[in-house]
A and B are shown apart, each in its own frame.
Chain A
Amino acid sequence: MSNKKNNQVSRRQFLNYTLTGVGGFMGAALIAPMVGFAVDPLLKGEKSGDFVYVLDVDEITETPQKVSFQVDQTDGWYESKVEKNAFVFYDSNGDILALSPVCTHLGCTVDWATEKEDEFFCPCHDGRYNAEGENIAGTPPTEPLHEYTFKVEEGKLYLSPETHARGGA
């Protein structure tokens, strides 16, 4: 209407601000659900799986045995059974170890005693682990093979599908 005071917001500026504000709000309301939709995997978090029977405790030896077990996997709309592998054995302290065959370097699969006796070997980048699954210095892996959470009930060994890093090495 008038510009008596100099530091007042002019009509043009006011309209600009309101239009940008309202427009921005509408745009945000439009985009927000889509962004939420896209980042949904981050919101879901991890699901923990049930323990699965793998073998009897009296079958466990000092040398690592490769055992396979099936876990139920829900991948979005796709449900399936996935085969997992573990190396089960008694370590030098006589404790049960169930190691994941996933190399701690870049996720390839290691195998027992393929390249050398008494060692785990990963063919991707020649990663090596000793008989306890500890990484051998000078080879690519940066930490020991991860281990499965397990429980023993009535002489049977059960593994959870989750693995975790081993403390100390």
Chain B
Amino acid sequence: MLNKIYDWIDERLDVTPIWRDIADHEVPEHVNPAHHFSAFVYCFGGLTFFVVVIQILSGMFLTMYYVPDIENAWESVRYLQTEVAHGQIVRGMHHWGASVVIVMIFLHTLRVFFQGAYKKPRELNWVVGVLLFFVILGLGFTGYLLPWDNKAFFATQVGLEIAESVPFIGTEIKTLLAGDPTIVGAQTLTRFFAIHVFFLPAVLFGLLAAHFIMIRRQGISGPL
């Protein structure tokens, strides 16, 4: 049945070459943990992506209940976590996943660094990878405020003070982030929400595409 549907579509649109190009390629022996167990270090990039996918999915579902408003944010989080079916699991995935992404991206970076895999011709992919790291940190920073509890508030307070310590333009950066020169409040929350769910994910998708296109184009760096 599925095969027939696939054939019907393929006959008209010739999709086989497209997915072959994306998915059907050999895994070199030196990156296959079945050959050399130590090759598991090559999994960290894929694992980072896997957890990012979980973050995107669980985040999409969380916004069904979450409101980025100082009156309702905390209550909506309490409601979705304690009264909605599986709320604790879905928010748990997003909460713990956020930390796991940082750990995985860090391990992935370590592997690339210590294997020297960033060297010519892969310098550009390293640059994109570092940008991805910053985007992930930005997602972590902006997401931390959203539950609007004490920890979130003061963590953001501290983060904004750090941003303010930038020479010359520090105050402007802080105001731009917080939406107000002195208050961490209603405008900060909506800004962080917008950055967290629209702006940074958009940048993330673009960079991820570049990251993957480059690795397919150049292949995984050879054995040590």
Contact = CB atoms under 8 A, between A and B. Distances in A.
Interface string B95-123: 00000000000000000000000000000
A38 B61 contact: yes
B54 A76 contact: no
Contacts, number: 42
A43 B84 CA distance: 9
Task: Summarize A's interface: helix, strand, loop or mixed.
Answer: helix
A43 B85 contact: yes
Contact of A33 (B64, B72, B75, B89): B89
B78 A37 contact: no
Bin the interface of chain A by size.
10 to 19
A34 B85 contact: no
Contacts of A43: 85
Contact of B58 (A34, A40, A77): A34
Interface string A78-89: 100000000000
Interface string B58-89: 10010011000000100110111000111101
A36 B86 contact: yes
A37 B90 contact: yes
Contacts of B87: 37, 40
B57 interface: yes
A33 B65 CA distance: 15
Nearest to B77: A77
Contact of B79 (A30, A31, A77): A77
A34 B61 contact: yes
A77 B72 CA distance: 8
A33 B93 CA distance: 10
Contacts of A33: 86, 89-90, 93
A39 B54 CA distance: 19
A20 to B, nearest CB: 12
B85 A36 contact: yes
Given A31-B57, A77-B78, A77-B79, A37 B72 contact: no
Nearest to B54: A30
Contacts of A31: 57
Interface in B32-72: 54, 57-58, 61, 64-65, 72
Interface of A: 30-34, 36-40, 43, 76-78
* Shortest 9 CB-CB contacts between residues of A and residues of B: A77-B79, A33-B86, A77-B75, A33-B89, A36-B86, A40-B85, A36-B85, A40-B84, A37-B90
Given A37-B61, A39-B85, A40-B86, 8 more contacts: A30-B54, A31-B57, A34-B57, A34-B61, A37-B87, A38-B64, A77-B72, A77-B79
